[in-house]
Every structure is written in structure tokens, then in C-alpha cells.
Amino acid sequence: MRFTVAIDGPAAAGKGTISARVAAHFGFAHLDTGLIYRATGARVLAGEAPVSAAESLNPDDLARSDLRTAEVAQSASKVAAIPEVRAALVAFQKRFARREGGAVLDGRDIGTVICQEAEVKLFVTASDMVRAERRFLELSSKGHDVTREGVLHDLRERDKRDSEREAAPMVPAQDAVLLDTSELSIEEAVRQAIATVRDAMPKPGH
Ligand code: C5P
């Protein structure tokens, strides 16, 4: 069976957790496409040229433990605006989306570019303040030296760059279901996402 769940939305809206839980629930493979851009951004921070970094990414790059910093996130968002970088990363993501057995991909352009034919498209959002608070708690609990204001500023800067760029900007696909998690617990958000996917799945006997 080929069945793709595309989950897009801004930073820290809850995409990552929702995607991992939806994938586990249905036994689908999961790809966090932000990691690909983060891995490219990390190599650029180390001095490499963006396009050659994207073209030579390997599984070890994605397994690096230092990809979740604010600095890498900003670098990722900068390299992600370069059309040749995106072009170098498209084929892998497209193959992953249509793999046998079902796939969940989360990112910014999954429902609009990588898999327009996805059976389910979710656009996960939350207010700026809620997203900044969540990201602040996540980073400070891991020992990062961050402030609420700094995190909010970083998120807004990244959202602006991601949604205003020419190449594959972050916008909800026309047929995406919006899921605003501002007032939802993670359990409730996951429950709603799972229900949306279940409704779109082929029914036995049909
Ligand atoms: O989702 P995450 O915050 O890890 O993504 C890091 C950056 O990678 C984003 O700010 C965005 O610029 C870029 N990205 C993208 N397209 C995707 C996934 C991530 O441009 N599908």
C-alpha cells in the first residue's frame, strides 16, 4: 500500500511529535525533513558550500547530535531558501513519500511540492507565543542557554524567511486540514491527527 501523510507548518507547532506518533500508530515510516536541511546547514556552518553539502549528505550527517540548536536552525532556514539546495534534496524525499507501507513526512513544503498527491495533508500551527514557550522549555530543559525573547525572535525570523522565500515557501496546501494546537494538549492534538488520517484510509471491503 502507498499512503502518504504530509504534515507541514511553522517551527515548534508540534509537527514533530504529531508525525512520530501518527507514524507509530499506523506503522508507517517517518521522515523529519527539517533534519535534512539542518544537516546541510550544520555542514555550511563548518565551512562547506551549501549546494555541495546538500548533494553529498549521508546518513551519518542526519544522525549528528548537534542539529537541534538555534544556530543550526537559522543556518538550515538560510540554505533552505537556495533553489539548488532544495533541488538536491527533492528526489530522496519524493521516493520516501511513495515508499511501500505508508509514510509520514513533516516539513514546510511536503503537501505543496514533495507530495501533492498525499492522501492526507495537515497544516499544524499554534500562536507565536505558544510556540516560543514550547521551544524555550524544550531547549532550556536540554541545558541550552536561551531566553524566551531570544527564542521568540528566532522563530519569527525563521517563519518569515520560510514563508516569504521564492522557492517552495511555507504555505498550507489548498486541500490541507488545519490543526491549530495553541489550546490543545499534545494528546488531544495527536488524537485529532490520527482521526483525520483514519478517515482518509481505504475502508475494508471498499
Ligand atoms: O522543521 P525544522 O525546524 O527542523 O526545519 C529547519 C528549517 O529547515 C526550517 O526553518 C526551514 O527553513 C527548512 N525546511 C524546509 N523545508 C522542509 C523542512 C524544513 O525549508 N520541508
Q: Please name the helix (run of DSSP H) or strand (run of DSSP E) that holds residue 42, with its range, or none.
A: helix 33-45
Binding site membership of 34 for ligand 1 (Cβ less than 6 Å): yes
Provide the pLDDT for residue 206: 67
Q: Is 80 in the pocket of ligand 1 (CB under 6 A)?
A: yes
Identify the segments of the chain with pLDDT beneath 50: none
Residue 122, φ and ψ in degrees, nearest 5: -115, 140
Q: How far apart are CA 73 and CA 80, in angstroms?
A: 10
For residue 179, give the C-alpha cell.
490543526
- The reply to whether ligand 1 has any atom less than 6 angstroms from the CB of 37 is yes
* Residue 110 DSSP code: I
Nearest residue to 40 (alpha-carbon basis) of 101, 95, 81, 98: 81
Q: Please give the distance, rounded to the nearest whole angstrom, from the Cα atom of residue 59 to the centre of ligand 1.
A: 18
Other Cβ atoms closer than 10 A to 185: 9
- pLDDT tens-place string over residues 15-43: 999 999 999 999 999 999 999 999 999 99
Alpha-carbon distance 84 to 103, whole Å?
Answer: 25
Give the span between the Cα atoms of 205 and 202, in whole angstroms.
9
- What cell numbers appear for 130 in the block? 505558544
Mutate-to-test residue for ligand 1 from 79, 108, 138, 156, highest number of ligand atoms within 8 A of CB: 108
Cβ within 8 Å of residue 91, ≥6 positions away: none
Helix (H, G, I), strand (E, B) or coil at 62: helix
Question: Tell me, what's the pLDDT at 203?
Answer: 84
| Per-residue model confidence (pLDDT) at position 204 | 80
CA dihedral 85, 80, 134, 178 (to 10 degrees): -100
> Residue 198: its pLDDT value, please?
97
Residue 57 alpha carbon to ligand 1 centre in Å:
16
3-class secondary-structure state, position 111:
helix
